[in-house]
């Protein structure tokens, strides 16, 4: 069973698909986490909205540029051949210009309306995603780890938008998201192993036969996530409610990867993926409750 791809029915929905809405939503959750934890006073609703809007534009723009860069590879994979460019709904040059415009406007909002630090972090995230992570997918299986850096940086951007600085707690949040991404994306790689092989992507499940290393990477990062997520209690920013909630979430995330040790099936990979998707919003809820007790 494969992940069901998003398939645009018209040009309007095709432009929306270019922004990679699933990834953008995860980025916005990460940004909101960073903003909420980095906020030391009463939340400025306008500032928060502009932060989220600018981040959404920047993320959507980076997604569109990624569509342009990987357009020839997308034709080779079943799950991506119906994307806007390979399907012919949108010209490659149009997607590129669309991505550049979104990125520029998003960057301007962050730099001008928020602060320079959040804008710099946003720019660095996009450059790392497009010019480092994307080409590395065809070079080394370590692309997942490298890609986890820009994947975790939106939390720093949200924190910088709220506090105009980055303190040690911001880097704890970055580390949580960095570790969280490994099981998440390895689960996707297991589910889409054949497709990635067609495109020549050097994902870890593609280059090994038995998935032993992939499963070790999943469990190792899920295990490390548990103590790292509890560092917020050590620094005093969060309390007992967060401790037990984060501990339970971390253990559940770790346990969801255990079935893969027995049998590397699509269903077991889907279980891990579903748990990973629940983890972040659940953590946000726990943080919100803890801070407002």
Please write the tens of the pLDDT for every residue from 66-94: 999 998 888 888 878 888 899 888 999 99
Q: Which residues of the chain have pLDDT under 50?
A: 1-4, 6
Q: Are residues 134 and 265 in the same domain?
A: no
Q: Is residue 155 part of a domain?
A: no
pLDDT recorded at residue 114: 95
Distance between CA atoms of residues 15 and 86, nearest Å: 13
| Domain around 46 | 1-149
Same domain, 99 and 206: no
105 and 214 share one domain: no
- Burial group, residue 1, by CB count within 10 angstroms (0-12, 13-18, 19+): exposed
Domain match, 143 and 2 both: yes
Of 121, 149, 177, the last residue of a domain is 149
Distance spanning both ends of the chain, measured CA to CA: 43
Encoded tokens for 30: 């990460």
Domain tally for the chain? 2
The verdict on 97 and 200 lying in the same domain is: no
pLDDT of residue 9: 63
Enter the pTM of the model: 0.89
């Amino acid at each position: 069973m494969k992940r069901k791809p998003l398939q645009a029915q018209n040009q309007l929905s095709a432009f929306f698909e270019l922004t990679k809405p699933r990834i953008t939503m995860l980025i916005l959750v990460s940004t909101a986490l960073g903003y909420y934890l980095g906020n030391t006073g009463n939340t400025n609703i306008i500032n928060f909205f502009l932060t989220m809007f600018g981040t959404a534009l920047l993320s959507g723009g980076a997604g569109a540029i990624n569509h342009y860069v990987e357009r020839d590879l997308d034709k080779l994979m079943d799950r991506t051949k119906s994307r806007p460019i390979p399907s012919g709904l949108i010209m490659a040059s149009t997607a590129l210009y669309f991505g550049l415009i979104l990125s520029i406007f998003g960057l301007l909002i962050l730099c001008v309306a928020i602060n320079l630090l959040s804008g710099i972090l946003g720019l660095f995230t996009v450059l790392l995603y497009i010019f480092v992570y994307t080409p590395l997918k065809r070079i080394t299986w370590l692309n997942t780890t490298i890609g986890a850096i820009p994947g975790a940086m939106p939390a720093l951007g949200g924190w910088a938008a709220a506090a105009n600085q980055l303190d040690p707690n911001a880097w704890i949040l970055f580390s949580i998201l960095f570790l969280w991404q490994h099981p998440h994306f390895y689960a996707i790689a297991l589910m889409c192993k054949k497709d990635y092989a067609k495109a020549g992507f050097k994902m870890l499940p593609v280059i090994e036969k038995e998935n032993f290393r992939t499963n070790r990477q999943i469990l190792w990062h899920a295990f490390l996530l548990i103590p790292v997520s509890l560092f917020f209690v050590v620094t005093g920013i969060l309390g007992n409610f967060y401790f037990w909630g984060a501990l339970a979430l971390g253990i559940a995330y770790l346990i969801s990867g255990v079935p893969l040790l027995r049998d590397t099936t699509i269903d077991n990979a889907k279980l891990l993926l579903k748990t990973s998707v629940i983890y972040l919003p659940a953590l946000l809820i726990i943080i919100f409750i803890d801070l407002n007790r």
